[in-house]
């Protein structure tokens, strides 16, 4: 994910959440994160565009990000 974060720097925010951090519990509940890893993609309005348990691989994530970044 760090390569993806660098690739989309200035276009999208890539945030890693430590699920063991008590402060993360609200986020986990809000975005229905039940396991780790989970990829949650939000559009520019903060709406969930994708919530995928596991890591589907770099290519599907970058394709989804390209779609989100291209949206007005």
Does 37 fall in a domain?
yes
Expressed as residue numbers, the domain containing 23 is 2-67
Does 54 fall in a domain?
yes
Helices (H), the chain: 2-7, 25-30, 58-70
Does 17 fall in a domain?
yes
C-alpha closest to that of 35 among 47, 48, 51, 50: 51
Task: Tell me what pLDDT residue 49 has.
Answer: 95
**Domain count for the chain:** 1
Does 10 fall in a domain?
yes
Compute the distance between CA of residue 65 and CA of residue 54 in angstroms, rounded to an integer.
16
Output the tens digit of pLDDT for each of the chain's 72 residues.
889 999 999 999 999 999 999 999 999 999 999 889 999 999 999 999 999 999 999 999 999 999 999 998
CB 51 within 8 A of CB 67: no
Does 72 fall in a domain?
no
Does 7 fall in a domain?
yes
């Amino acid at each position: 994910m760090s390569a993806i974060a660098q690739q989309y720097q200035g276009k999208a925010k890539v945030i890693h959440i430590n699920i063991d951090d008590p402060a993360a519990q609200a986020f986990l509940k809000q975005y229905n994160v039940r396991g780790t890893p989970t990829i949650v993609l939000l559009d520019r309005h903060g709406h969930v565009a994708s919530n995928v348990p596991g890591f589907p691989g770099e290519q599907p994530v970058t394709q989804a990000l390209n779609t989100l970044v291209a949206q007005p």
